[in-house]
Amino acid sequence: MKLFGLGGFFTERFRLLGQVFYTRVRRLAVRRSLASGGWGLLGPLAGSLTYLYIALQAVAGRLTLGDLTLYAQATNAVQNGIQQVFSSFSTLYENALYMDNLDELLATVPVVVAPAEPADLPSPVRGHIVFDHVTFRYPGTGIRVLDDVSVEIHPGETVALVGRNGAGKSTFVKLLCRLYDPDEGRILLDGIDIATVDPAQLRSAIGGMFQDFVTYQATAGENIGLGEVARIEDAEAVAASARNAGAASLIEGLPRGYDTALGKWFGKGTQLSGGQWQKVALARSFMRAAPIIVLDEPTSALDAQAEHELFAQLSSLAEGRTAVFISHRFSTVRKADRIFLFHEGRLTEQGTHAELMRLEGRYAELFTLQASAYID
């Protein structure tokens, strides 16, 4: 705000929006006042006419003084009742406007649901992943984020996904976690179509972290333990996950260690930097002893030393598991068993680092471009 001098701009924008809002609210208020005023006059007018009729009948001698009193009280009671009815209708209408929004939200039908008779994944899950001619478009768009992608990831293999922003790497991972279903093709896990599996069972076999990880306003231990809620009270597992993610020294240096509240929502909370939060999120992903590990930009906010330490032990952490990670840093990508290069939604190259360099294609071009920055 200070650097770009945006104070005046946003103040004027707020004033304009406030003026539009005021104009619309005033228009509604006038309409409401006219309507309520009209209905409000109807009651006194009807009451006045009734009183006039009763008075004329009394003057003509058709009603006694007792009748006059009785009819006047009855008229007053009916008038008050009618006013309360109209007031209730007005309140019901206003509340119904809010209820419409709530009903619309509650009526939302989930797209990704368990089938009526879900299939079971094998036990244990080996982590054999197959994308079979998968095509996907995000809802409301016609752009193919993934276009006829077919690939096989073997059990226990570490695979790196690379490519430019928007190439489809994160979408590949989200489809694997069945956060969406593909428009065409199918995804197999150990030979089972994941569309036939209960999403909860599928996701219990996957552990990982996305680049837009969540910073929970809870203690450091709880932030890590949320990776496996059933073991959130297991202090040893939480500490082991922190060590694996390189977050142990960070957390142990906090005022109350693993019991330190993170964030500023609550009193005496400690706010972490972006890189420190990422270490905590990484530790959360390692809490789950899942056969498949998914890491989407796991080191984007880490310094060079922390990144080196993480990937130095990633091979041991992924031993016996299938690991899929996304990174733009080719110094870490080259250590993967295989590398998949995505370009405009299509899988254009795959192989080891050495094979792709010999291919002299887009991967070799990107690697050379990034490496040239370090060459004198």
What pLDDT is attached to residue 34? Answer: 82
Can you give the pLDDT at residue 244? 86
C-alpha span between 80 and 84 (Å, rounded): 6
Task: Kindly indicate the confidence band of residue 301, based on its pLDDT and cuts at 50, 70 and 90.
Answer: low
Looking at the DSSP bridge assignments, the partners of residue 324 are 159, 294
**Mean pLDDT rounded to a whole number for the chain:** 87
Residue ranges covered by each domain of the chain: 7-106, 129-205+290-374, 216-282
In this predicted structure, which of 39-53, 131-145, 152-166 has the lowest mean pLDDT? Answer: 39-53
**In angstroms, rounded to a whole number, what is the distance separating the alpha carbons of residues 182 and 63?**
83
For the chain, how many residues are written? 376
Which one has a higher pLDDT value, 63 or 106? 106
- Give residue-wise pLDDT tens across range 103-132: 989 998 888 999 999 999 998 999 999 999
pLDDT > 70 in the chain, percent: 94
**pLDDT above 70 for 376:** no
CATH number belonging to the domain at 129-205+290-374, selected among 1.20.1250.20, 3.40.50.10710, 3.40.50.300, 3.90.1150.10: 3.40.50.300
Q: What is the pLDDT of residue 236?
A: 94
Encode pLDDT of 1-41 as tens digits. 888 899 999 999 999 999 999 999 999 888 878 877 776 67
Q: Is the pLDDT of residue 225 over 90?
A: yes
Q: How confident is the model at residue 313 (pLDDT cuts 50, 70, 90)?
A: low
Separation CA 259–CA 261 (nearest Å)? 6
Confidence of residue 312 (pLDDT cuts 50, 70, 90): low
At 188 the pLDDT is: 96
User: What's the rounded mean pLDDT across residues 228-250?
Assistant: 91
Give the residue with greater pLDDT, 151 vs 43. Answer: 151
